[in-house]
Structure 1
């Protein structure tokens, strides 16, 4: 028997906020639809007449509409197979019932003051849902949902309805594997699907034994390996020297000189020192302090925001000369002198525009090519890999390495490479 849910044709409360129809295969659609349904449920409850004040022996609260009554008031029909990208994601209205006002309250106060406060809070629902995911995660999830939507259309089922079965997910995994996606990408796509279904109060169709075994099979049949090489101390010394001969201006020579050394010594992600998909993680000039005298300079770095920082705490690290021939701290101080004191990202071009990831990669590849190294094996993340590998080689504890690199788990171990001093 086909599963049922409330039709999009159900009669909405007169005061419900209208939502522009947008594609189902979008996190924005889910966020706006949930905001809409919460709004409708709240406004419906606020319009409910309040029982008159009664004596203590007879006073009672205005009851919440039971789920059966709410369902009876709505037009319910079988969910039709998904037809177009314009269908909205729907959720059950009873999932968002709001308790009625307490007895003895004034109807006038309830409808005026509560309505005013509630209307102010409606936009916050969507804002909080949107902010629950990092910008980069939202981009990946949107892509995953779009692929799943296309797949669901092909097999005529609603990708976000309650009728998604294990077989649908198993076929989807096989479909992605046939498209030569890695097991990690498949897992990410399933995370996006599970995220939306849980938001819609559906059971998570991706959380079962069969799915786990299929992912394990994909991992065994198509294992992936990280081919990126670490920027070792020796490689770092060479490319820092190569900057002087490959950069196209004096300012760029000083800037990239400092950027390479900073990326290594601060265990920096490239998105933290260049303009990237998550600009909130970009280090600002105000996050940096250089202290000490000419004989011993120290750089203090405060990471206000960074990947996986779920508790929004600040993280501070410090470095000095570093393991290279040229001092990392003095190199940064020299760059800061030519940069100027204007606010904004730490690393900017001479016109104060942020350094982009593309600029950084282009300069890095030019230096690697000059040093006759395979530029396809070195990426921006190679600085971070090299720093973690050197720390492990020097006997740093796992906890210390995690703290330096702002890792939250043992995931850093996949970055460790041998022989990083050469």
Structure 2
């Protein structure tokens, strides 16, 4: 044991025992390339990296009229060794390089380029990210890195992350279809991808822009840097031009205003399906409208109920004898789950939401329901999802004599804002009721023909002071 302790304490790591498997140069191949004006990259066994030059390289041109191309060409080889070198130990590797000086340096193990080694050591870890790091991590560090990656991804909504992954897969499929190396990130390649997605895949220009955002996001995860080609003026002008070539879109979503809501409530109270489903839908209609709710704030897209984030029976509570509170656990503008109270009042109206919702909650509790059960249930006793709610919403519209075309669940929120504006409610109050943090609520206020007529009549009859 003393012999081994003495040996290991001074061992240089070199072993004469190689793997039983004898590899050939063709088995492990590395491809690298560099462009001093753009950046560098490498490809190895289905994996790749690409990046702009570290800040240290920008000073080379200032220090020398003709900086060594060898330095630029060997840098991606060093980065590849940092990333994947642990897989090459005791193997033969074939490195493809178009620089003869780099070939000599690799084969001889030394360089005539002054200060090359110190420069490379200084910059070798410049491109490390949480998703692409150079070190072999021990289990404890790996756990920390995993937690960091999870936290970064949790910063995005699952639907957004899914859309970004779809865009990345589309970008990869584009490279495969045209049989070009992946990924090409220059302006020319990005423009070609945009045209391919729009012209060949029939993806709208607005959706292609979302795809570009997804590609940029994935690249930032991998390299820590954004792709500047995506924000290039040529890409911007291309998407704008493609958008102008698109046919005019169909009519925008229509608002479900208070008068249309009254027609729907009348249909439900007259008997649409079973009494329990009619009562459930009535409460959902009224809560969506008077709460200015987004679709996801009332009916989740998933069927897997999670009481920590989805609407539960306990989210409806009494506030005063004439008001209720619907506690919104999480929303688009409240990603940290601070929760927000939505007040529901007793109104002197046919569509007053207080009475139906109060009776619904009391009846659920009377039937031994748990406070942690879903707030709204289907005929099968499952959580009411967005698909289920939308299906019945469109059917109720049709049964009420309203064409369901151009209506969606977002029509409740649009209709509430439009009705509030028509009733003369202040902009600030509308912003508070809809929980808007910007001027975006103005986009939801749809003015009908009579509103425009009355507005122009008022303008034409207005006389400034001193004019008779």
TM-score of the pair, normalised by structure 1:
0.70
1:276-299 superposed Cα distances (whole Å, 9 cap, x missing partner): 159775322232213322xxx212
Q: Separation in 1 of the partners of 2:287 and 2:261?
A: 11
Question: Structure 1 residues 310 and 256, CA, compared in 2 at 3 Å: closer, same or farther?
Answer: closer
1:286 is aligned to: 314
Structure 1 runs of 4+ aligned residues shifted over 6 Å read: none
1:387-409 CA distances to partner (integer Å, 9 max, x unpaired)? 11122223344443333223333
Q: Check conservation: 2:42, 2:77, Cα contact below 8 A.
A: no
SS at 1:299 equivalent: strand
Question: Where does 1:30-69 land on structure 2 (aligned, <5 Å)?
Answer: none
Correspondence for 1:8: 44
Return the offset for 1:238.
Answer: 0.7
Q: Which has the higher contact order (CA 8 A, sep 6+)?
A: 1
Structure 1 partner of 2:196: 175
Cα separation, 2, equivalents of 1:259 and 1:97: 46
Aligned to 2:446: 417
Distance in 2 between residues matched to 1:135 and 1:97, nearest whole Å? 22
Residue 339 of structure 1: how far off its partner (Å): 2.3
Matched, 1:329 2:361: no
CA distance in 2, matches of 1:348, 1:356: 9
Q: Which residue of 2 aligns with 1:165?
A: 186
Give the counterpart of 1:190 among 212, 230, 233.
Answer: 212
C-alpha separation in 2, matches of 1:214 and 1:72: 35
Q: Indicate how the Cα distance of structure 1 residues 220 and 6 shifts in structure 2: closer, same or farther if over 3 A, else same.
A: closer
Confirm or deny that 1:268 pairs with 2:293. Answer: yes
1:412, distance to aligned residue in structure 2 (A): 2.5
Q: Partners in 2 of 1:215 and 1:418 — Cα distance?
A: 30
Unmatched runs of 5 consecutive residues or more in structure 2: 1-32, 50-74, 86-94, 99-123, 131-136, 452-468
| Secondary structure of the structure 2 residue equivalent to 1:143 | helix
Deviates more, 1:221-230 or 1:328-337: 221-230
SS of 1:418's equivalent in the other structure is coil
Distance 1:379 1:421, change over 3 A: farther
**What SS does the aligned partner of 1:200 have?**
helix
Aligned residues: 338
Deviations 1:224-283 (A, max 9, x none): 465211111111011011113453222111111111111100111222222315977532
| Aligned-pair CA distance for 1:216 | 2.0
Worse-superposed segment, 378-387 or 135-144: 135-144
Shift of 1:169: 1.3
Among 141, 144, 149, the alignment partner of 1:121 is 144
Given the alignment of the two structures, is residue 214 of structure 1 paired with residue 250 of structure 2, yes or no?
A: no
Q: Distance in 1 between matches of 2:406 and 2:449?
A: 15
CA distance in 2, matches of 1:78, 1:275: 53
| 1:45 equivalent in structure 2 | none
Residue 241 of structure 1 aligns with which residue? Answer: 266
Distance 1:240 1:116, change over 3 A: same
> What are the equivalent positions in structure 2 for 1:338-377 lying under 5 Å apart?
338-340=363-365, 341-342=369-370, 343-349=372-378, 352-377=381-406
The answer on whether the counterparts of 1:339 and 1:348 sit within 8 Å (CA) in structure 2 is no
How far did 1:143 drift? 1.8
Summarize the alignment of residues 66-77 of structure 1 with structure 2, pairs less than 5 Å apart.
Answer: 71=79, 73-74=81-82
> Which residue matches 2:424?
395
TM-score where L is the length of structure 2: 0.64
Could you tell which deviates more after superposition, 332-341 or 252-261? 332-341
Corresponding position of 1:140: 163
Specify whether residues 72 and 255 from structure 1 end up closer, same or farther in structure 2 by C-alpha distance, changes over 3 A only.
closer
Query: Is contact 1:320–1:328 with CA below 8 Å preserved after alignment?
Result: yes
Distance, in Å, in 2 between the alignment partners of 1:6 and 1:117 is: 29
| CA 172–288 in structure 1, closer or farther in 2 if over 3 Å, else same | same
Of residues 118, 128, 135, the one that matches 1:96 is 128
Shift of 1:153: 1.3
Question: 2-side partners of 1:250 and 1:420: how far apart?
Answer: 38
Q: State whether residues 251 and 338 of structure 1, in contact with CA within 8 Å, keep that contact through their aligned partners in structure 2.
A: no
Q: Distance in 2 between matches of 1:148 and 1:188?
A: 12
Of the structure 1 ranges 317-326 and 336-345, higher mean CA displacement relative to structure 2 is found in 317-326
Deviations 1:109-139 (A, max 9, x none): xxxxx95643432321231132121011122
- 2:279 pairs, out of 242, 245, 254, with 254
Which structure has the larger Rg? 2
Secondary structure of the equivalent of 1:146? Answer: helix
Task: In structure 1, list runs of 5 or more residues that go unmatched.
Answer: 10-20, 25-29, 34-66, 80-91, 99-113
Deviation for aligned residue 1:308:
4.0
Displacement of 1:334 in angstroms is: 1.2
Q: 2:164, 2:218 within 8 Å by CA — same for their partners in 1?
A: no
Contact 2:41–2:76 at 8 Å: present in 1 too? no
